[in-house]
Amino acid sequence: MRADSDCEVWQALWWHHFFLLWSTINGQTRYSIPEELKQGSVVGNLAKDLGLGLSEIFDRKLRVASEAGKQYFSVDAGKGELVVNDRIDREALCGQSASCVLPLQVVVENPLQSHRIEVEIRDINDNSPRFLTQEINLKIPESVALGKRFPLESAEDPDVGSNSLKTYSLSKNEYFSLKFKDAKNGKTVPELVLEKPLDREKNALHQLVLTALDGGNPVTSGTCKIIIDVLDNNDNFPVFSEHEYKVSLKENSTKGTFVIKLTATDADEGLNGEVKYSFGSRTPDVVLSTFEINDRTGELILKGPLDYETSKSFLIDITAKDKGTPEMDGNCRVQLDVEDINDNAPEIVLTSKPSPARENAPSGTVVALISARDLDSGDNGKVTLQLSKRSPFTLKPSFSNNYELVTSGALDREKFSEYNVEITATDSGSPPLSSKKMIPVIVTDVNDNPPIFSQPSYNVYLKENGVAGSILYSVSASDLDFGENAKISYSILDSKVQDVSVSAYVYINSDNGSIYSMHSFDYEKLKVFQIQVQAKDQGSPSLSSNATVHVFILDQNDNAPAVIYPSSAALGSLSHQRMPRSAKAGHLVTKVTAVDADSGHNAWISYKLAEATDASLFTVNLYTGEVRTKRAVSEQDDSSQRLLIEVKDDGEPVQSATVTVSILMEDGLHEPILDLRQKATEPSKKNGRITLYLILSLASVSVLSVLTFLILAVKCIRSSRSSGSCCMSRSDCDDYKNPNRNLQIQLNTDGPIKYVEVLGGDMLSQSQSFRSCMSPMSEYSDFTLIKPSSTTDFKEVISVLDASLPDSTWTFESQQVSRDFPIVPFHTFLNCSAGSETHCSLGVIGCRGEIYSLPPPSPL
């Protein structure tokens, strides 16, 4: 019979499998399936019902989380279908409840979202009615009155609805019939009713069969055998005051707590009327371990712990037996309901693993799915959740004790890379119970911070003539971001240095920021240049920042002094000078003038008499190069003297040059300057041309100087009201737009060669430098054009000039008015003759706004 029942069950499963239903109520997806489906059976197309494409199933990690604890369902990642993952037994899940619904949470990520679906588990008739015992023994005296009822054991059927227990039937006999009684718990109790007097002598033993039937299709059943012994005396049964008692007890009741006192009476006398109490023969072990009964007094006592969450009620069968022969018994039932108390703290359950939150995530981004549950009931099971203060998160209710942990404010990974969100769950019991849970939320980085250099600009001082490929400097930048967003690569932005790409001069290691030279540098050609270094991270999109590296080339003593006077000596031949034999001690014979292309100490020049025909006759000034007589010329001195003068700089190592001066002593040569002027008046075509050139040059310079002073005077008068210093306004030079400019001043006041030189021009360009050299002691008045020279940093020139010419008296005054316009390249100089009565003065002003002035006219 059991085999037939199993076959019918599987037939029912087969047909139910083909009639799966699903519906959507109030926006919530609900499926309906029968219990006991095979593993892998399709419940419904979950992805389609939620509006998800097939690509999103894998990318967004579609999955289900069961609130029942066990994972009965899963998602087919290929099709997006919800399939049965494990055996589903409705009776194990929902017991005798009329409705059995499994709530599921469907979780998708990127972004994190949750959907609630329900799966209704429909009952199938997979359980037959069953009696706890296969045999019921009754002892009935033959003198019992007709109509007497004898309660029988009820059958149990785990199925519900139409598949549950419906009725009982009794095997055909002439003494007993079957009737039913409704118990307080809603169940039907079968009772055996005596219909015909018993006669022990005719039939001392009766055997009946009780059958329990359910309402399924097909109908299933269970049976129990009833054996009745007919007794010949003791014809009164113990009788309880009620057939069924109902009591309640709090679940925190302690051992020994009194439950109820049961009383049964027997109309017989003597031993036949004495009653003892006991549990029914079919009492479950859980009742026997939890309660005990006093067999004399009938008091029911608690002997074990109660737990409302495990057993909400107990049905206890009590039997009262007399001591007669044969024994007669009576039965009653006690229904004990357990009252819930708040003995369970609420529990916080993570439905999904916390999802990392991007630091630029908008408010409302879901980072975790949380559910709260409490095993208690009523107010004791109502749970509220609360977050810790000062947290950029909040809880958003979704459905029935389910919440979403969402962002409520801005996140900054650079300040907090991880949050430990503390959630407190509190129930509504009295007193309330609570629990806490820490949920770690990791904040992932986005590329929101550009690399930052350790300083906005760098000054690098590099000696000239360095080895190509040597390291100049190492810049460093840091990025507050993380991972790829913090990986930095360095590069040099393209720019021009003397019309050549900067990449021809230097290159940079992209990993560590080390800058290397491509070749050696020459201070005399390039004194300063700039490098724009960019640091870029590897984020998407990448961020960058720039820093300026100022490279200053430091001068090395790599240039020997060059003799520019006597000019003939500079060309490699002897310099011939004349002097009167009547010259006294201290007589100025000539002056050697040299220049050094280096700067600073490397350009400080000293003069020394290395060799002489008569070393006792001449001396050379160490600093000015003036050649003078040490004593008066005697008649014994040779008329032709030869001097070898060594010119040295102050660098390390020392560089030097030599010049040879040939001096011819003549009688009657008294006034060299007068003789020179007389020569200039002699009718000579060559001297006439030179004189004309000199006159034109001096006239041009004089006119330029006068105009300069007039313009300067007008500007000073106009601006004197607002400023105590003479300056220029920006409007004076609105026509100039190039901001790169520099100045160079060269001043010489030593000996008979006296000139001042002012240069102006772009910082990286070359301007023309003209020098006019005159010597009253030379045979001819020479006009020399010196090759163009590079400009240099103005402050450096001033410092070098100041250190190089300690005997010159001049001042520098500068008021920077505007840096938006350039200086016009200009050049002005003045030649002065030797003599105590010669005076020179010159003022120079640049469009840059600087004013350079020499002191008032004074003897040079």
pLDDT at 256: 93
- Contact at 8 Å (CB) between 788 and 858? no
The answer to whether the predicted template modeling score (pTM) of the entire model surpasses 0.75 is no
pLDDT at 647 over 90: yes
- Contact at 8 Å (CB) between 119 and 106? no
CATH 3.40.50.1820 fits domain 452-554: no
Q: Which residue has the higher pLDDT, 6 or 323?
A: 323
pLDDT at 407: 92
Q: Distance between CA 153 and CA 189 in Å, rounded? A: 7
Could you read off the pLDDT of 731-757 as tens digits, one per residue? 343 443 344 444 444 444 443 344 444
- What confidence tier does 724 reach under pLDDT thresholds 50, 70, 90? very low
Across 96-100, 341-345, 422-426, 445-449, least confident range: 96-100
The distance from CA 470 to its chain's CA centroid, rounded to whole angstroms, is 37
Across 280-284, 403-407, 733-737, least confident range: 733-737
- Contact at 8 Å (CB) between 171 and 195? no
Please report where in the chains the tokens 């059976």 appear, as a residue: 41
Please report where in the chains the tokens 């407190």 appear, as a residue: 424
Q: Distance between CA 724 and CA 728 in Å, rounded? A: 12
pLDDT at 488: 95
For the segment(s) 27-122, the CATH number from 2.60.40.60, 3.40.50.1220, 3.40.50.2300, 3.90.550.10 is 2.60.40.60
Spatial CA neighbour of 30 closest among 47, 51, 49? 49
Could you read off the pLDDT of 801-837 as tens digits, one per residue? 334 333 333 333 333 333 333 333 343 434 443 444 4
Q: Which residue has the higher pLDDT, 813 or 147?
A: 147
pLDDT at 19 over 50: no
- Contact at 8 Å (CB) between 392 and 405? no
E-assigned strand segments in 303-353: 313-322, 329-339, 347-350
Q: Looking at residues 626-633, what average pLDDT do you find?
A: 92
pLDDT at 610: 92
Residues of the chain with CATH 2.60.40.60: 27-122, 135-231, 239-339, 347-444, 452-554, 562-666
pLDDT at 672 over 70: no
* Superfamily of structural domain 239-339: Cadherins (2.60.40.60)
Q: Domain 347-444: give its CATH code.
A: 2.60.40.60
pLDDT at 575: 76
Q: Distance between CA 770 and CA 54 in Å, rounded? A: 84
Q: Which long-range contacts link 92-99 to residues 24+ away (Cβ below 8 Å)?
A: 93/68, 93/121, 94/121, 95/158, 96/158, 96/160, 97/160, 98/160, 98/161
Of 85-89, 724-728, 782-786, which one has max mean pLDDT?
Answer: 85-89
Could you read off the pLDDT of 172-228 as tens digits, one per residue? 999 999 999 887 777 888 999 999 998 888 888 999 999 999 999 889 999 999 999
Q: Distance between CA 750 and CA 671 in Å, rounded? A: 21
The stretches of 573-639 forming alpha helices (DSSP H) are none
Spatial CA neighbour of 183 closest among 226, 153, 161, 158? 153
pLDDT at 571: 45
E-assigned strand segments in 667-791: 742-748, 755-761, 766-767, 789-790
Longest CA pairwise span in the chain (Å)? 194
Which SS3 state, helix, strand or coil, does residue 797 take? helix
Q: Which residue has the higher pLDDT, 236 or 422?
A: 422
Spatial CA neighbour of 267 closest among 236, 229, 244? 236
Question: Before 672, cis peptide (omega within 30)?
Answer: no
pLDDT at 322 over 90: no
CATH topology assigned to domain 562-666: Immunoglobulin-like (2.60.40)
pLDDT at 686: 53
* Superfamily of structural domain 135-231: Cadherins (2.60.40.60)
DSSP for 130-155 reads B-S-SEEEEEEETTPPTT-EEE-PPP
Burial of 2 (0-12, 13-18, 19+ CB in 10 A): exposed
- What confidence tier does 68 reach under pLDDT thresholds 50, 70, 90? low
